Amino acid sequence: MAKTATKTAEKEAKPVKTVVKADNAVATKLVELYRLQHYDSLVDKIRTQRGELPLEVQDLEDEVTGLETRMNKLAEDLKEAETAVSDKNNFIKDAKASIKKYEGQQAKVRNNREYDSLGKEIEFQNLEIQLAEKRIKEGKFAMESKAGAVEESKKLYKERKKDLELKKKELDDIIAETEKEEKDLARKSEAAAKVIEERLLKAYHRIRGNARNGLAVVRMERGSCGGCFNAIPPQRQLDIASHKKIIVCEHCGRILVDDSVVDEVNGAH
């Protein structure tokens, strides 16, 4: 489909020899303006072929980057949870060793005061062990939750990464297919723009920039504007056909040309 459109565009884009009356400067300006519009419209068609692909690729790139960041953060959180559980297990070992030491000291004390003091230390260590065991239980639950989130994040990351690769390939194929033609049309557009006076060229780009379909110069079709399709008064139709001055649509502001100008650019006689 893209190749067919490309061949059609190449056929349409063939340069034609301008034939206008030497004393009609306005007609010449209109022909050159429409020629510029012609090339720019062909470039627009090529870019339309790409559709929303560039934006889709950008969105997927942003999503993949975000997923990668989230995946790395989840992996760090999981590692921190594992470290916390490991630290608590080591703490319990140390606490049990302390209890064993205090129990050994209790057997050697000489009075009740020392015995009670060691008993309080043992009780304190047992409470610390209970708290550590609670934290370990909570930590293991968090580890299971984070491990599941990490796996889910990895899976989604791989899927989006694959989607991105496919979209980029699709975009690269379209660009490769139309790049030469687009560059050729861009050169023709630049050449056409060079022969248009600066004031008119600025007006053309301003109108084109404000037009949703990129059309700044349109033909008059059946007494209506080819851009907004509003009716053109009979007197203005005569003014457009006379080429005595440049006429713009009073509704949309586009520059209006008649069939003779269009035929001049398209090579019709």
pLDDT attached to residue 19? 41
**Regions of the chain short of the pLDDT cut 50:** 1-23, 268-269
Per-residue pLDDT at 51:
76
Q: What is the pTM of this model?
A: 0.52
Confidence at residue 224, expressed as pLDDT on a 0 to 100 scale: 95
- Report which of 156, 136, 29, 144 is spatially closest to residue 91, judged by C-alpha positions: 136
Nearest to 14 by CA among 40, 39, 47, 32: 39
Distance in Å from the first CA to the final CA of the chain: 31
Classify residue 198 by burial, with Cβ atoms within 10 Å: 0-12, 13-18, 19+: exposed
Q: What is the pLDDT of residue 46?
A: 87
pLDDT at 15 (0 to 100) = 38
- Contacts with 8 (C-beta within 8 Å, 6 or more apart), sequence order: none
